[in-house]
């Protein structure tokens, strides 16, 4: 990390930024990959195909839209599509296990924690956070 005395903030080098960006999304969607493999083993190919399709969309997006390629965009605008796909993957897995009918409504409040980064660093721009 580098301290920028003019702005009074710590800046992250570009190669560390790549590890953080790709690693965080890889960790976020790793469960989709594992469950897709489980669906292949259970011979439920439709759900496996849907899971792998979500993964292809997510990793295609985060590969070509990232903070160092779009330094003037706000981080929350870069995170809208992956977050939409995350919600879609949650709906996908709840549907795959028929969990909608016996899923209490207050369990949905646990999903609020997913959106914490959207509100904490969402208003920053890539060039404000990182040394590009």
pTM of the shown model: 0.79
pLDDT in tens, 48-59: 999 999 999 999
Give me the domain span that covers residue 58. Answer: 2-129
pLDDT in tens, 71-109: 788 888 888 899 899 999 988 988 898 877 877 777 778
Task: From 10, 12, 7, select the one nearest 24 (Cα to Cα).
Answer: 12
Report, as an integer, the average pLDDT of 107-121: 80
Q: Into how many domains does the chain fold?
A: 1
pLDDT in tens, 16-50: 778 888 888 889 899 999 999 999 999 999 999 99
> Which DSSP string corresponds to 96-125?
HTT-STT--GGGGGGGGGGGHHHHHSTT-B
């Amino acid at each position: 990390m580098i301290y920028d005395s003019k702005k009074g903030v710590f800046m992250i080098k570009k190669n560390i930024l790549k590890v953080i960006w790709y690693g965080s999304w890889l960790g976020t969607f790793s469960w989709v990959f594992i469950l897709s493999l489980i669906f292949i083993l259970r011979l439920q190919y439709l759900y496996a195909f849907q899971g792998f399709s979500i993964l292809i969309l997510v990793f295609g997006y985060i590969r070509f839209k990232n903070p160092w390629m779009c330094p003037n965009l706000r981080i929350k605008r870069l995170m809208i599509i992956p977050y939409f796909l995350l919600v879609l993957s949650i709906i996908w897995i709840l549907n795959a296990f028929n969990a909608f009918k016996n899923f209490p409504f207050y369990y949905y409040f646990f999903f609020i924690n997913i959106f914490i980064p959207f509100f904490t660093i969402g208003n920053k721009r890539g060039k404000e956070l990182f040394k590009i």
